[in-house]
Structure formats: C-alpha cells, structure tokens
Chains A and B, each alone.
Chain A
Amino acid sequence: MTDDTPTKTMNMIQAINSALDICMERDKDIVVLGEDVGYFGGVFKATEHLQKKHGKTRVFDTPITECGIIGVAVGMCTYGLRPVPEIQFADYIYPALDQLVSEAARLRYRSAGEYTAPMTVRSPFGGGIFGGQTHSQSPEAIFTHVAGLKTVIPSNPYDAKGLLIAAIEDNDPVIFFEPKRIYNGPFDGHYGKPVTPWAKHPSSAVPEGYYRIPLGKAATVREGNDVTILCYGTMVHVTAGVVAESGIDAEIIDLRTLVPLDIEAIEASVKKTGRCVIVHEATRTSGFGAELSALVQERCFHSLEAPIERVTGWDTPYPHSLEWAYFPGPVRLGQALKRVMES
C-alpha cells in the first residue's frame, strides 16, 4: 500500500495535514469543516494552508455548534459529498452524539443502503497535556458501542496519514481520534523528561504521496513470547518504554482500529504468549478494555496462564493537578506486567 514517492520527516500534525491535502486533491467531493479549521488552519494547525489551496467552499469555518457540524455533514453526504468534519476536542463531541449515533451510524441501515454517511470525524483526544476535565478525555468506548460507526486511533505519523486516507475513502462513518499528546513527538509517560520530537522516531518517515493503511488491521510494534499487550494511541509509546526497561519479552500490539477490530492478530498473539495486558487512557468501567478482555477470555481461555490485566484511567473525571496520578503511566503499567508475569 506504500507509494514510491520520497519520504519526508513529519510529525503527526503534518502527516494528518498531508493526508487531508492529498485526499482533497484526488477527490473534489471532499470538504473540510469545523471550528477554526479554515483561514486559521485549526487550533492544532492540522488544516493549515488547506483553505488557501482548495478554496473557501471546500475548507471552511463553522459556527460553534457540534450538533450542527455533524448534522450538516450528514446532509452533505446526502448530496454526494464526503465531508471531513473536525470536532476541536473529543471532549466536545457530545453535543453531536445524536447526529452521530442516531443519524450517521444508522443511515445506511435504516434506508437499506439508499443513503449513506461516508464522513470522517477527526477529533484530538487523550490526556497527558494538563488539559484537565474537558481537554483530556478518551471517549472511544462511547463510539465503539455504536453499531454502524468505525473507530480509528493512530499512534504515529506514518499510520496517521495512511489510516486517515483509508478512513476518508471508506464509505462508512469513521471516528478518527488523534492522540494530541503525541502530535509533536512520541511520549513514553516520563513526564519530567523533555519531549522527544518525531524526527528521532522511525515512523516519522512519511511518504509524501498517496498510500493507505487498511482499517481493521493491527500492527505488531514489538514481537515477544511472554505476554501480549494490547494498546493504542499514546499508550503504545508508554508501553514500549516500559517493556524496554523491564526486560520482559512482551508482544506489543497497536490496535490502530477498534471497530472493526483485528481479532486474528489478538488471538494469535495471546495464544502464543498465554498472558494479556490491556492498556488505555480512558476510564475503566465499560471502557474498550472490557470488550477486549471479554474477547480474549472467550477466544483464548484455554491458553491463558494468568488473569487478564487492565491498566486504564481511574473511574473519575480527568483531573488537572493530579494528572500524573491519573494517567496510566510507566509505574502502573510496570506493576501490572509484574503481576501478570508472576501469577
């Protein structure tokens, strides 16, 4: 799926920007809309230069109404466009829930395919930036629970571009959550250390042209035999850091797409290792980890040598000053790995 164009070092923002630019170039039906995405180029600069290049009728600012942004996008789909709306922070996606859950997700089903909603909703999500309660949330489980939506979460620039292109070209509505903590560089959870820029990470070598990474396919970040760690987004890097320090031969799987899930990769890995740890930033109860845990238990029961561990955010709203006690960082993951290896 890779092209032959030269690669360029990109951070995640640049990779996302490149994906949008390329898709808009290739398909005149693609439009980008959202709060501050036009002239200003987005509060995270993900849509920078797009309006100038593709014009105001294809990249435009919207009123501050999430329900309106998604509602209008559904109508644009009905006309035949392929909108890529942005919700400024995932924490602010809730006013749009009715349009996403009751409309976009069900349109194909309820009209037996007469109408569809081929839209990709981009939204920065996740914590680790002192964003407090309403700039840190990870609401993916709300969307994975909705029949008819696909949920995608990249963890590096290369994947971000390839997955976003695939999401935009997908004919189903896709929720594309971008972990904003790692927009500028990977983050291993050691918050005291200076940020490493993406330039030093191999996944920052991004082809300048078109390529896609299929939805529904996980990536094995590290092969190992002792334990399978299922993670996505920022937690991929936290996990990689902890595993490197611990000396445990863990297999790290970056799920990349939560729905549809790459169940084959998960099953093969857990059957090989016999142990499983699930890591996500979102709160624990009814989080996506619960679904993963249930699937592993149902499918790999006879291979399991230890209870499945979940390392997640606590069941509290995301706190401000207590961020690093909340964030499922290296200490907590290290303890969980120890527990699962010793039992």
Chain B
Amino acid sequence: MDEDARRNMRPLSLHVPEPRFRPGDAVDFADFDIPDVAAAPRPDIGAMPEEMRSLAYGLVRVLDLDGASGGAWAPRLSPERLVAMLRHMALVRAFDDRMYRVQRQGKTSFYMKCTGEEATSIAAAYALDRDDMCFPSYRQQGLLIARDWSLVDMMCQIYSNRGDRLKGRQMPIMYSAKEASFFSISGNLATQMPQAVGFAMASASRGDTRIAACWCGEGSTAEGDFHSACTFASVYRAPVIINVINNQWAISSFSGFAGAESTTFAARAVGYGIAGLRVDGNDALAVYAATEWAAERARNNFGPTLIEHFTYRAEGHSTSDDPTKYRSAEERSAWPLGDPIARLKQHLIAIGAWDEERHAAMDREVAEEVKAAGKEAEKQGVLGDGLHQPFTTMFEDVFEELPWHLEEQSRQMVEERKAAGI
C-alpha cells in the first residue's frame, strides 16, 4: 500500500477493557440476564461436547432467587444432606472470618477468604468421592472443610506454629493434606491444572476408578498451563474436572482482562472438544449437580468436563488487598446471584426443612467450633512469638537425603548463630 492510501485510512485503536463500575459508582445490574432454571437441558453423561455448546454459554441453575428448586439439573439430595452442606458452608465462612481477624491482630502474616464462593468448593466436594484427587488453588479451603479436615491442623499451618505439619515453610493457607486427597497448594498460578490432568491420566492408565479435579480462578485461565491442561485433558480424554471459578476479579483486574468481554470461560471447552458447563456458582445445588454430572462422565470414560462457576468475590483478594481502591463498594450487595449461604438457607426453609431459629443456632455452633479450634491451635503458638521449628529443619526435605552442601550450610548456620550469641 502506498503512503497516500495509508494517510486516508482511519487510525487503529487499542481496546483496553474497563470494568462497569469503579469506586464511587452507583451499581446497576438491571440488564443482567438471569436464565430461568428450566432453560438449561441436562444432557446424557456421554453426550458429545459439540452437542452441548449452549450449556457453555448459558447458566445451569437449580435454585431460583426465591428459594424454589427446579429444572432438569435439580439433584436428588435429602434435606439432611442439604443441611450438612449448609453447615459446612457456614463453617467455612466462620473460619474465614476468624482467620481474617487473627491476621489483623498480627497473629499471622496473611490470609485469603473465599466469602461468597463457599458453594463452589463445598458443593463440589459433596459430589466427589473422598479419594478423588483435588488440585485446588488458594481459595478452595472449603474442600478441606467439607472433607471434615481438622480446623486445628489448618490453623496451625496458618500460624506456622509447632503443630504446622509443613514446618513453617509455606505461607499461610498453602495447605497440603494428602490424607484428604488435597494436593499441596503452590503460589504459582495454574500449575495445578496440568498436574491434575496428569493424575487423571495416571489413574486411567492404571485402570483405576479415581478421578481428579482442579480449580483455578478466571484470571489464571490466561496462564499457559491452563491451555496445556485443556489440551492434554482433551487429547487423552482424561477423567478430570477442570473448574474455573469466575469470581469476576483477579486482584484488581476485572474478568475482562482474562477474556470475559468476548466469551464465557466455559466456552473455552468448546475449542478443546471438552464438555463445557457454565453454572450459577452461588447456587449450591447447581454446583453439586454439575460436579456430579462431570464426575459420572469422567468415571464412565467419557472424558473431561470444564465447569465455569459464575460467582462473585465478595471480599478483598487477600489481607494485603483493599478492593475499595478499584471497584464499587456496592457491587457485593447488588450482585444479582446473591449469596450462596443465604440462597441454600432460603431453599431449606421453603421446603420446610429449616427455620431461622435453627439457622441462628447453627451460626452460633460453627462460631464456637472455630473459636475452640482457634484456642487449641494457638496453644501451639502463633507467628511471631518465637520460632516454632528447629532451625535445621529448614534444610530438610529439599532432597530425600541431605547432600553435603546442605549439611555444611546447616552446620554453618548453627555455628554463626552460636558465635553471634543467639
């Protein structure tokens, strides 16, 4: 093209996504389309991914906003089981609240809540077998709690104290609990995604019946590991459930920076030839139903499922974050899909299995349970009141056996401290 022709063209422009509401803005979700619970069909677990394209763009819902349940996805769960699920969700929230407070009190360095996202891990855990291997990110503490993992053990990790099985090596909340089939959490985003696929491939190659599930946020789907995970899962038809928790925010970046302006995260599945489901993540029954469907699909050798859990990160990213600096404070209360605990509570009340009194009693109980666990954990120390692990443990577990150079460094450290009189 010659220079003159170029001069006559309109200049290109770069699109930089911008969230709808910034601090101080009035929030209005009136145009937010909430599909009816009857809108999403429930395909056979062996359905071909291309037959279920609409599910990747719709929203699987079971609970409508007044607490009634319905639609093809409504799971058959007893009221007792629903109450247990509700209680676990309340327990996670109480745990988060207390751990947030102890961070503010200086008893630990860091914490991350999952407020508003409790259903995405608790209901998912209810739909999995206890030995199905979970590869979580840092915001799925609900998996451990749903598997009745010791709160004291979790708190000891958060305090890096004498009871910390990880010997003070990991930042708070980077749990590891092999007995609960809960993989060691890494700070590096999305690395767990191909790892889960590898676990699933191993299980399949051994003719086992265990499946794997992994979780990442919508922000982390932009990582290359996410692409690797989906490719491998598709190629080998790995028995894995790939969960994307779309809570709208990756620290200060809204989901548009991960691609949400152009498509859904469930729709990524379409390109990989994976079954894709987009689910109301604040609807515990929908999360349960979708996970149960995906688990059945995986267990029957029909391959992987990608589930986008559409939810909202109600609190700051972490104790180091202040969300009022980048988003409107009204968003949380205006969020059209509500609160997962409130919605399940309302449903239980609607079916006559629950009431306000019982709910209030439950809230008191879980708070007491967390408080008692907190006291127990704090007996073993909190961060800052002296070191809780012998110094030399720092050098252990780098390798199976201590090589000479680590042995030397360990000795040097002890000698230097002794010489310095500490």
Binding site for B on A (CB under 8 A): 31, 57-58, 62-63, 65, 67-68, 71-81, 83, 95, 98-99, 102-103, 106-116, 147-148, 150, 170-172, 216, 259-261, 263
Contacts and interface: CB of A to CB of B under 8 A. Distances in A.
Given A67-B225, A78-B183, 5 more contacts: A68-B194, A73-B198, A78-B202, A103-B188, A109-B397
B188 A150 contact: no
Contacts of A98: 188, 191, 225
Interface stretch (B104-112, B166-174, B259-267): B166-174
B203 interface: yes
Interface stretch (B10-18, B148-156, B398-406): B398-406
B227 interface: yes
B136 to A, nearest CB: 13
B179 to A, nearest CB: 9
Contacts of A170: 400
B135 interface: yes
B398 A72 contact: no
B143 interface: no
Contacts, number: 148
A83 B399 CA distance: 18
Interface stretch (B35-43, B228-236, B286-294): B228-236
B147 interface: no
20 contacts: A71-B195, A72-B198, A72-B201, A75-B212, A79-B198, A79-B203, A102-B188, A103-B186, A110-B169, A110-B170, A110-B174, A110-B176, A112-B165, A112-B397, A115-B183, A150-B399, A216-B403, A260-B403, A260-B404, A263-B404
A58 B207 CA distance: 12
B382 interface: no
B166 A72 contact: no
Given A67-B225, A98-B188, A31 B205 contact: yes
Contact of A171 (B203, B400, B405): B400
Contacts of A71: 191, 193-195, 197-198, 225, 228-229
B79 interface: no
B198 A78 contact: yes
A75 B194 contact: yes
Interface string B172-214: 0010111000011011100101111111111111100000100
B398 A147 contact: yes
Given A63-B231, A68-B228, A260-B405, A78 B199 contact: yes
A172 B397 CA distance: 10
A322 B224 CA distance: 35
Contacts of A115: 176, 178, 183-184
B195 A78 contact: yes
A115 B227 CA distance: 24
A67 B224 contact: yes
Interface centre among A80, A114, A170 (most CB of B within 10 A): A114
A185 B141 CA distance: 55
B404 A112 contact: no
A99 B191 contact: yes
A172 B198 contact: no
Interface in B303-329: none
B133 interface: yes
A111 B199 contact: no
A71 B198 CA distance: 7
Contact of A75 (B165, B188, B202, B397): B202
Nearest to B193: A71
A91 to B, nearest CB: 18
A111 B191 contact: no
Contacts of A83: 198
A65 B205 contact: no
A117 to B, nearest CB: 10
A115 to B, nearest CB: 5
Given A216-B403, A260-B404, A57 B205 contact: yes
B202 A111 contact: no
Contacts of B212: 75
A308 to B, nearest CB: 19
Nearest to A58: B205
Contacts of A110: 166, 169-170, 174, 176, 184, 186
A79 B199 contact: yes
B232 A72 contact: yes
Nearest to B400: A171
Contacts of A73: 198
Contacts of A75: 135, 194-202, 212
Given A57-B205, A74-B198, A147-B398, A68 B229 contact: yes
Nearest to A116: B400
A289 B24 CA distance: 58
A172 B228 contact: no
Given A68-B228, A71-B229, A99 B194 contact: yes
B74 to A, nearest CB: 34
Nearest to B188: A102
B401 to A, nearest CB: 9
A114 B201 contact: no
A77 B198 CA distance: 8
Contacts of A79: 133, 198-199, 202-203, 206
Nearest to A170: B400
A115 B133 CA distance: 13
A320 B231 CA distance: 34
A113 B194 contact: no
Contacts of B198: 71-79, 83
Closest 3 A/B residue pairs (Cβ): A75-B198, A71-B194, A68-B228
Nearest to A118: B400
